Structure 1
Amino acid sequence: MEPTKPSRVHLPDASGIAEAARVIASGGTVAVPTETVYGLAARADDDAAVAGIYRAKGRPDFNPLIVHVPDVTAAQHFALFDDRAIALADAFWPGALTMVLPRREGAALAAAVSAGLPTVALRCPAHPVMQALLKTCGLPLAAPSANRSGGVSPTSAAHVADSLGNRVDLILDGGETERGIESTIVALRSDGTWAVLRPGPITEAEIAHVLGAESATPASPKIEAPGQMTSHYAPGKPVRLDAQGAGEDEFLIGFGAVTGDVSLSSTGDLAEAAARLYACLHLGAAAPHDRIAIAPIPHHGIGVAINDRLRRAAA
């Protein structure tokens, strides 16, 4: 893989944001930090620009993309918001929640962002760099994780450079991301039900508290949102879960009392584990060991989202 040219990496200062907005406006791709992971952004209203995302990632065209917007007013140009959607936006936007909503007829979005579905996935991110880029370019941004499709998501600019190299036009280096795992995705159904399509930092219980109703089983096995592929977030080596210790030629990722070559959190803090998850998987992928083993993670709170990513990494 060709090394990333230094000129491709910019600080997210006024000059860097302006250059990134220029790249976006011209149909290029920009890797940009959000509070979850780094996204590979392109203008969501242009078919050729969205195709550039698929080309850079090697991403299947049946996998929808999340459209990022600066606020709920902008989001309502692209989707139909009912009272439930407004309530969730009030509670969690800007933040790590993506809503899958009915796509508004005539919405100025490339068809590929919905991957043939009548819905669109929308998020208003909280990260100041992504917000600055959205407001400067004045465009909705399609932005899946800034890595090769199916691989480990990036939580630093270095991860982006290692994964995509010169496939990305520009990288805004905003340091390490805070939350470390992708946004929660919730689908609001026309029959009044709702379902979490991808667990994330905002838990199902928190969403239920706002909506006043329990979730329903996802309606269809068809992919409706990013991160639903059986094999995803893969580090390129066999992964063994629920490991109490390292086997032969295994790189052990520990948690709590299970120590390893690295630890998601030596104190058993699930928020810290989520923030460190992909960085530890990247270390495991780069280690000389043939396999990766990962300590058990409690299946509650953010642990549900962590275990979801780990199951797909091991698939």
Structure 2
Amino acid sequence: MDKDTDTQHPDARHPDHKPPLAGRIALVAGATRGAGRALAVELGRAGATVYVTGRTTREHVSEVGRATETIEETAELVTAAGGTGIAVPTDHLDEDQVRTLVGRIDRDQGRLDILVNDLWGGERLTADSVFGKKSWETPLADGLRILELGVRSHVITAALALPLLVRSDAPLHVEVTDGTARSNRRYRENLYYDLAKNAPIRIAFGLGEELAEYGGTAVAVTPGFLRSEQMLTYFGVTEENWRDAVAREPHFAIAESPYYLARGLAALAADPDRAARWNGRSASSADLAQAYGVRDVDGSRPDAWAYFEDVVYGGKDASPDDYR
């Protein structure tokens, strides 16, 4: 999949080299598919032990309705990449389940070094009930469910896992969202969605203040136009022929794989100066790629947020290729 392996993963060149996150313990909450899965895999590739959670298992399918990706498969991919993947089925809106998860990590490891909050699962709601509608036209139950999935789940997980995270000598808390603080100054189409995708940015900002005395870092990160499994299915393409979808959606030409953000975050996690560089901030996959020199699986370095700001909203005469 990666034609740039030597550049991206120096440990593949030097088998005796200790992976940069060896011995580190990570939790990726919401790792069934998409960015969460890729983040877990790349942290594992860097040597971490990664607990992966989600609601879809080989025996149960969540409200997202996709049985094709499971947390067990994610854990296996983490291990195959060189880390240790541990799947723990968890509904992060259920406080008791999250307490049980944190208790297990505590018993197993005694600490947590990296917490990634990639909880969502509201795609069907946004497609059916939100986009193209005013807030008062949105069914209230659907709007509140969006806030549960995109905000409440993040707050529950942070509140219950942070006491374990601050035992680390360098705690890292990551909020995954849609958009940066800069891009999200523009209204995100619907009140409920806007709240759900801006809240993680503020969570990272606030936790950055609280974690500073522990030498910690809190950061919000976002992919660009993500070629998740769900998005590929929506367009009827695969990762191998994804460009066939550009005829239907021209902006898909700026799309990126989930591994683009994941590579950047893995580099950030291994950066000893990350607190000074990132604490309290929000960053896109392109920001991280520029900072750490990583590239997407096809060797490109797309910047979807700049493309949308300049071309789609700003009217600049340029093509997606100019932003890859």
TM-score range, shorter chain: under 0.3
Higher share in helix: 2
Higher share in strand: 1
TM-score for the superposition, normalised by structure 2:
0.26
Higher relative CO (Cα under 8 Å, sequence separation at least 6) belongs to 1
